[in-house]
């Protein structure tokens, strides 16, 4: 039996356990049943974005059951598959160079830069070209940054949150554990989440520290709208950004020089990170291409 764990991210950027299921196999029919059951239990509520390990059966089931849901692939599992095929073949240093080049290609913020880097990657590592084209290029919209950043994903790039829950469950049960023990473990997780939500609501009602109140003076109208639509936790983060903006340092630059630059976020040593909150989303050239330069 296989335990399926479904996690969502709430409006406080916390992981929430929303569904668990025991299945006997990992076929399209089984995953279709799982997705349909979730929709039924939530009165037709379906996610806008789904992250999985790119299992073919799950991909097919998701596309046929949740037709409006965007489907992105876990970058950690993509890396593991690349390691499986090329780490032993390339060895230490060449593997690092290959994976770093792949990461730089993946992290391109606009399509034409991605295509240029992809072509260079295939040319330099021609012995990997067949795998890259067959298994990754065809589904690039599910993992390439130039496409995935178009959908709100709360900074998620992998199924790491699910793996964390799996780790907690595995630490509390073993092969001889009963279903009752498993149910109790999951119930403890749910109780812990509920207590955190209650605590967060209580903290949100406390007076906000007034060490820096620039938002009250320079962003007062914006702050009024933020209070209307944001949760306490998000409002606190937004006010922090408003206050911090008063410490920015500005400088005059030449627009023509900036237009010649190409911006591509690259992560050191080819490591995927989910902490790139300030990463540029699109290239400056793309942003102002339609503006009247006069």
Residues 205-249: tens digit of each pLDDT: 655 555 567 778 788 899 999 999 888 888 988 888 888 877 776
Structure tokens at 7: 């996690």
Q: Which residues contact 162 (CB under 8 A, 6 or more apart)?
A: 5, 6, 7
Summarize the confidence of residues 73-96 as an average pLDDT: 90
201: left (phi over 0), alpha (psi -120 to 50) or beta: alpha
- pLDDT per residue over 147-161, tens digit each? 998 888 888 888 888
Structure tokens at 101: 């080049």
What's the whole-model pTM score? 0.64
Q: Which residue has the higher pLDDT, 249 or 83?
A: 83
What is the H or E stretch that residue 8 is in? Answer: strand 2-9
What is the H or E stretch that residue 105 is in? Answer: helix 92-106
Structure tokens at 51: 């992250």
Could you tell me the sign of the dihedral formed by the alpha carbons of 62, 64, 69, 73, in that order? positive
C-beta separation of 272 from 158 below 8 A? yes
Taking 70 as the threshold, does the pLDDT of residue 1 lie above it?
A: yes
CB burial of 242-264 (b: ≥16 within 10 Å; e: otherwise) equals bbeeeeeeeeeeeeeeeeeeebb
Q: Which residues contact 58 (CB under 8 A, 6 or more apart)?
A: 26, 31, 52
- pLDDT per residue over 123-147, tens digit each? 999 999 999 999 999 999 999 998 9
């Amino acid at each position: 039996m296989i335990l399926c764990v479904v996690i969502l991210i709430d409006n406080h950027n916390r992981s929430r356990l929303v569904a668990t299921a025991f299945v006997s196999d990992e076929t399209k029919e089984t995953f279709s049943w799982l997705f349909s059951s979730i929709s039924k239990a939530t009165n037709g509520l379906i996610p806008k974005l789904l992250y999985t390990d790119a299992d073919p059966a799950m991909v097919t089931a998701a596309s046929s059951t949740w037709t409006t849901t965007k489907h992105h692939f876990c970058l950690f599992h993509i890396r593991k598959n690349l390691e499986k095929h090329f780490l032993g073949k390339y060895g230490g240093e060449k593997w690092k160079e290959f994976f770093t080049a792949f990461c730089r290609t993946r992290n391109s913020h606009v399509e034409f830069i991605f295509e240029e880097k992809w072509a260079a990657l295939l040319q330099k590592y021609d012995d990997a070209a067949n795998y890259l084209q067959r298994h990754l290029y065809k589904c690039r919209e599910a993992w390439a940054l130039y496409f995935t950043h178009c959908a709100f994903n709360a900074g998620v790039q992998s199924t790491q949150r699910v793996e964390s829950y799996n780790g907690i469950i595995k630490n509390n049960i073993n092969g001889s554990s009963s279903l009752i023990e498993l149910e109790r473990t999951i119930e403890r997780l749910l109780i812990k989440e509920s207590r955190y939500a209650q605590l967060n609501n209580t903290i949100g009602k406390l007076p906000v520290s007034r060490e820096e109140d620039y938002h009250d003076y320079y962003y007062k109208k914006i702050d009024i709208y933020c209070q209307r639509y944001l949760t306490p936790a998000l409002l606190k983060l937004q006010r922090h950004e408003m206050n911090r903006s008063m410490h920015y340092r500005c400088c005059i630059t030449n627009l023509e020089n900036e237009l010649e630059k190409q911006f591509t976020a690259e992560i050191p040593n080819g490591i995927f990170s989910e902490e790139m909150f300030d990463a540029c989303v699109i290239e400056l050239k793309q942003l102002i291409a339609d503006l009247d330069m006069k």
